[in-house]
Amino acid sequence: MNWIPDEQKTAQQWLMAAVAGDFASAWAASDLLRQMRIDYSRRERWCRPLWDGSSMDDRNVLIRCWRGLGDAIQFLRYAPLVRLRANSLTVEAPQALLPLFQTIHGIDRLIELDHNDTETKDYVEIESTELPYVFRTTLDTIPCTIPYLDTPQEFPQVREKQLTVGLCWCGGSYDLRRSIRLAHLEPLSGSSKLSFFQLQRGAALQEIAKSPIVFQNPEERSMDLCRTASLIKSLDIIVTVDTMVAHLAGALGKKVLLLLHADADWRWLRDREDSPWYPSIRLLRQSQAEDWKPVVTRLVELLTALEKP
């Protein structure tokens, strides 16, 4: 990203305020950035702001989900609030998310990302991650009625005598610090109380072959997020790194143990084990960068102390 000096300084002020939970100061920094009238046209769209400050009252609103799947899941919780003020609400999102977003209250129309099917309406356009800014959200006003999405259809449910645990240990390539090797989670294999299901996709699935952790679904490869969501719903607890699975499980209201690296994303704040975004998520953080051992030790303690519901 080609920062200009004032932009970089203000963006850093935004980040410092956001991770501290001082959202009022973060939105003030966002105001300054908008007032700079920076030309973002040559930048990747995932790092471009979209909202121009226009009121959504009695207007047709278009929310575009330009960033990650997890970002879209997290911030589409605002859809009902937008619809209370807007004339209509259209959401443009990746195709994989559309069936899940059909279950979110307040959305009038869903269209697939990049299909350019927005007709000729005069929209107020907002990127999904801008919604907390649009609503001037504070820690006390985060909309956290959980669950706020569901699966449009149900798949066969998991039934096990042991505590069922969904595991996702690797995120995307955007920030490799978020991921953990499956080998680091091997201490989990020593418990006879736990039955494991993998929620992993991509190259990291190859790690299963050499792991002592026995998965009940080692061959599962489906990219259908409705199927994934249904599996998550049927499990007792989800263990995951900071990736889409965390947001999907949190939005579904499932218990989650979220493994975070030492310099985690702003949305997880600092120095706390809970998340105001997802009441059912518990945060397990590295105290030192790249050192997952204490995190895994704590994870084993928490899981072995749980009883089958």
Flag whether pLDDT at 184 surpasses 80. yes
Q: Pick from 51, 112, 108, 47: which is nearest to 83 by CA?
A: 108
pTM for the structure as a whole = 0.95
- Give the number of domains in the chain: 2
Confidence band for 157, pLDDT divided at 50, 70 and 90: confident
Confidence band for 2, pLDDT divided at 50, 70 and 90: low
Cα–Cα distance, 54 to 100 (Å, whole number): 28
Expressed as residue numbers, the domain containing 191 is 163-305
CATH number of 201's domain: 3.40.50.2000
| Within a domain: 199 | yes
Q: Which residue is listed with tokens 């009441």?
A: 279
Would you call 75 exposed, middle or buried from its count of C-beta atoms within 10 A (0-12, 13-18, 19+)?
buried
User: Mean pLDDT across the stretch 162-185?
Assistant: 95
User: Mean pLDDT across the stretch 175-195?
Assistant: 94
Confidence band for 4, pLDDT divided at 50, 70 and 90: low
| Same domain membership, residue 236 and residue 172 | yes
| Within a domain: 247 | yes
Q: Which residue is listed with tokens 């996702």?
A: 168
| Within a domain: 28 | yes
Predicted local distance difference test score (pLDDT) of residue 3: 53
Among candidate residues 86, 117, 134, the one where a domain is terminated: 134
